[in-house]
Amino acid sequence: MRSSNPVLTRLDETSRVQSRVLGVGGAEAMTVDDVVVRTVGLLLLTGATGAAAWVLVPPAPWLPAALAGTALAGIALVVVISWRGITNPVPMVGYALLQGLLLGVASRAFELVYPGIVGQAVTGTFGVFLGMALLYRARLVRATPRMARLVAGTLLGILVLSVVNLVTYLLTGRQGLEVYRLTGEVGWLPYAFSAVAIVAGALSFILDFDLVERSVRDRLPRRYAWLCAFGLLTGLVFLYWQLLRLLAYLRR
Q: Which residues pair with 29 in a beta bridge?
A: 221
Which whole number is the average pLDDT over 18-46?
77
Over the stretch 98-148, which tens digit does the pLDDT of each residue have? Answer: 999 999 999 999 999 899 999 999 999 999 999 999 999 998 888 888 888
The answer to whether residue 1 is domain-embedded is no
- pLDDT band for position 24 (50/70/90)? very low
pTM confidence score: 0.85
146-153, long-range: CB < 8 A, 24+ apart:
147/203, 147/206, 147/207, 148/1, 148/2, 148/3, 148/4, 148/207, 151/4, 151/200, 151/203, 151/204, 151/207, 152/2, 152/4, 152/9
- pLDDT band for position 91 (50/70/90)? very high
The answer to whether residue 132 is domain-embedded is yes
**Separation of alpha carbons 213 and 207, rounded Å:** 10
Over the stretch 166-184, which tens digit does the pLDDT of each residue have? Answer: 777 667 666 555 555 555 6
The total of structural domains in the chain comes to 1
The answer to whether residue 38 is domain-embedded is yes
Closest by CA to 104, choosing from 63, 135, 62, is 63
Name the percent of the chain lying above pLDDT 70. 83
**Separation of alpha carbons 174 and 223, rounded Å:** 44
The answer to whether residue 17 is domain-embedded is no
The answer to whether residue 20 is domain-embedded is no
The answer to whether residue 158 is domain-embedded is yes
Q: Whole domain around residue 130: which residue ranges?
A: 7-12+27-250
The answer to whether residue 19 is domain-embedded is no
